[in-house]
Amino acid sequence: MEARLANLPVATISIVIINAGIFVAGILSNSQDRIISEYGFVPDQLFRSNTEHSVLNPQSSLAPGTAGALEKIFSSMFIHANIIHIAFNLIALVYLGGYAERSVGSLRYILIYFVSGVAGTLFYGALASYVTGTGGGVLIGASGAIAGVFGIAAATGNRNAYYWLIMQIVFAVIGSFSRIAPIAFTAHVGGFIAGVLLTKLMIELERKRRASSAEDAWRNEWR
């Protein structure tokens, strides 16, 4: 029993509970729209110095590069638009989150999760502001961070992570044409790449650490 409890993916479970709790609280308090407008990330507020007002919040005068815009990079990772949005994200997280967490350890997992979320958000935001011209819209959801979790799985040899990425491409294309379920696919891509690279870096650092420890032990043995 104790062994089973020790193997529980505590970080993954906690992230699921926090995201679900925030969504339920917003729905029950009838404040979901306000939460999205106040805490969602608007790329132009960070990347475009000549943007004074966002599309969703015309009263906002938040200047690009301020602490408020930077804070929204994090707060937006815990906000979801509707039940389909959060269900899709949390199912994806549960699907490979436990595997990914056990592969790298809870602390590394949490670090990669948040760094990937930030990377995905910034990648999407830069393209939205400078390329597609959609930087006045709001970005919400844990997709970039969860993509980083799948990046962990991919970097540690789980092929299912790549199947998920292909599925995202399909949904992104469908969403773009139908406008029923638009997906910020570039946030997924940025998060996934960040997850893969960070995991490979950590694996290499751990390999070097163990090699150094083994060499030191061998030297001490022969003194």
The region, left, alpha or beta by phi > 0 then psi within -120 to 50, assigned to residue 63 is beta
214 in a structural domain: no
170: domain range?
A: 2-209
Q: Count of domains in the chain?
A: 1
Query: Is residue 215, in this structure, part of any structural domain at all?
Result: no
pLDDT at 8: 85
Instruction: Indicate the SS3 state at residue 41.
Output: strand
Residue 20's CB is within 10 A of a number of other CB atoms, namely 14
CATH (domain of 111): 1.20.1540.10
Q: Using CA atoms, how far apart are residues 74 and 143, in angstroms rounded to an integer?
A: 12
The pLDDT value given to residue 79 = 96
Q: Answer whether residue 223 is part of any domain.
A: no
What are the two backbone dihedrals, phi and then psi, of residue 41, each rounded to the nearest 5 degrees?
-90, 125
- Let me know the angle formed at the C-alpha of 41 by 40 and 42, rounded to the nearest 5 degrees: 115
Per-residue pLDDT of the chain in tens (223 residues, 90 and over written 9) = 555 556 789 999 999 999 999 999 999 999 999 999 999 999 999 998 554 444 444 444 444 444 488 899 999 999 999 998 899 899 999 999 999 999 999 999 999 999 999 999 999 999 999 998 889 999 999 999 999 999 999 999 998 888 887 887 777 667 656 555 567 788 999 999 999 999 999 999 988 888 877 666 666 665 5
pTM of the model: 0.84
**Do the domain assignments include residue 75?**
yes
Which amino acid, 54? S
Within a domain: 219: no
The answer as to whether 8 is a domain residue is yes
Query: Among 57, 56, 88, which Cα is nearest to 167's?
Result: 88
Residue 215: predicted pLDDT:
61
Instruction: Look at residue 216 and tell me if it is in a domain.
Output: no
φ/ψ (deg, to 5) at 139: -110, 130
Domain annotation covers residue 220: no
C-alpha dihedral over 165, 166, 169, 173, to 10 degrees?
A: -150
How far, in Å, CA of 218 to CA of 222, rounded?
Answer: 7
